[in-house]
Each structure stands twice: as structure tokens, then as C-alpha cells.
Amino acid sequence: DHIFDETATNELVYQELASDIVKKAMEGYNGTVFCYGQSGSGKTFTTDELRRLALQEVLEYIENCPQREFLLRVSYFEIYNEKVTDLLQDNKELTLREDVDKNVLLDGMHEAFVKTSNQVLELLNQGNERRKISETKMNARSSRSHCIFRIVVESRMRGSEENIDISGVLYLVDLAGSEKASANTGDRFREGVLINKSLLTLSLVIRQLAEDSNQHISYRDSKLTRILQNALGGNSKTAILCTVSPGNVEETQSTLRFGQSAKRVLNKPLLNEVVTDKALLKRHQKEIETLK
């Protein structure tokens, strides 16, 4: 846990908050970093910088780890008015479904294979142009959607006979601002209702996990919590940055209560190994030899 004051640089925030999670994603663990707070408190500004620094660390890690082969896939999507759209595919609407292991998948989502920072930055620029941004009472340029950038990292040892792949998934999440729906009118009011519902569900899930892990958890009550299910009490290392502003005491108190509950949630991060048939056969042969 850490408190950053107004003098903290983005580099300091990244090192304290996200760097370890990014490194663990490179080593085969899932990771999530997201920013929560009121509109105008600096979420998007901070998330943009954390994303840039994370990409820089990912590419530097690959360069400094020649003994492994890496494959990077990135995707970029938003949740707007409870609809999930692909920011890399002309806002194509995506459908959520579950696989046999109850993992949430996004049907039809575009995943781009990347090798350089320029490739990633170009994709980010394309996606950012498609984001839902509009004026609200609390912020003249407020992001009206939850925006999620996902990096999938797969790797294996070069020349290894084991053929064991490891796979980490890293989510970098910029949540929509949380101004009250009553402060806006028309389309902004309807957006505010859905955004607040989504954030209230997130707060509810956090509270349920913090209070009693055996009770029913309301993941299915919003698209956001379904997609982030692993990050909330599941197989992921997760960091939450709560941003506050001196301009609104009530919103600041609400954000701090959210952070207080989130601190009590326990995740269960596991190494994601994919063992090939060849490697599995080799393991069984070794076990048989040991038993003889």
C-alpha cells in the first residue's frame, strides 16, 4: 500500500504500483492494474503513462531475456452503456461467453501480434480515436467508457526439449468517471446511470469479496466485473490506483472507502503453464523410471 502526493511522478507511481505486476506477467502470471476515482481526478492521464511505461518494460524484458522465445498479442476494447466494443475493429460489438473452464472470452475480438513499441503505439492511437469522450458537469473532457488494454505474453525456452509454454495476461484498465447521473441531462444522464451501475457493481463485488469469500459474488451483474473476474479475488496479481481530487469531498470519501475495501480482497495468482503432449509424455516417462 502506498500514498502518492501531488509531487509524485508517473515513473514513481509505475515503479511502486505496476512494475512488479508487469514483470510477473512476463513470467507467466496474470496481472491487472486499474485506476478508480471521480471524473477529472487524473485517471486517464495516469493510465496513459502507466500503459506507456508497461509497454517499455515488456519490450526491454524481452530484449534482456534471449534464452526465451516470446509472442505478444494486444487487444483494446471499451465498455460503453453496457456494450463491449472493439477499439481496433471500427467499434465492432463483442459478445461475452465462457469456455469450459469458466473463463470469460470476447467473441470476435481482434488481437494484433506486435514486436515493436511503434506498432503498439499506432494501435493505441487508432483505438483512442474511437473512444467515447464527451463533456460532463464534472469534467470538460470526460471519458464515458471503461477502457481496457490487454497484453497476452506467451514464451518458451529456446531449444528446450520440455516444450512447456508459459502465458501471462496483463490488463491495464481506465475506468469511466463516477459523477452522479443527476448532474447531467439527456444522453449524459443515461450514460451516467449505466456508468454508476457498473461502478456500483464493481464496489459491491469488492465488498462481497472483502467480507466473506464463501458468499455469492455478483460478477454477472455487469460486463465490467465479468471481464475483470480473475482480477477480483481470482487468478491474478492486481493493483488498484484510487485517484482523488480536493474539489469534491463526497466523491473523495467514496473513492477512499472503495480502496479500503479493496485492500482486504485476497487473490490467488497461479503460474499459467501449458504443457505440450511431448513434454507430458517425457514427464510420465521420468515418473515411471523413478518408480522402477
Give the residue carrying C-alpha cell 506486435: 114
> What would the 3-class secondary structure string for 121-180 be?
HHHHHHHHHCCCEECCCCCCCEECCEEEEEEEEEEEECCCCCCEEEEEEEEEEECCCCCC
**Closest C-alpha to 225, from 252, 254, 253, 197:** 197
**Closest C-alpha to 238, from 148, 152, 172:** 172
Q: Does the annotation place 178 within a ligand binding site?
A: no
Q: Does the annotation place 40 within a ligand binding site?
A: yes
> What are the residues whose beta carbons fall under 8 Å from the beta carbon of 141, sequence distance 6 or more?
133, 135
Q: Does the annotation place 42 within a ligand binding site?
A: yes
Q: Does the annotation place 225 within a ligand binding site?
A: no
Q: Does the annotation place 263 within a ligand binding site?
A: no
Contact (CB, 8 A) for 24 and 235: no
Q: Does the annotation place 234 within a ligand binding site?
A: no
What's the sign of the alpha-carbon dihedral 184, 262, 3, 54? negative
Residue 88, helix vs strand vs coil: coil
Binding residues for ATP, by number, are: 37-44
Annotated binding-site residues read 37-44
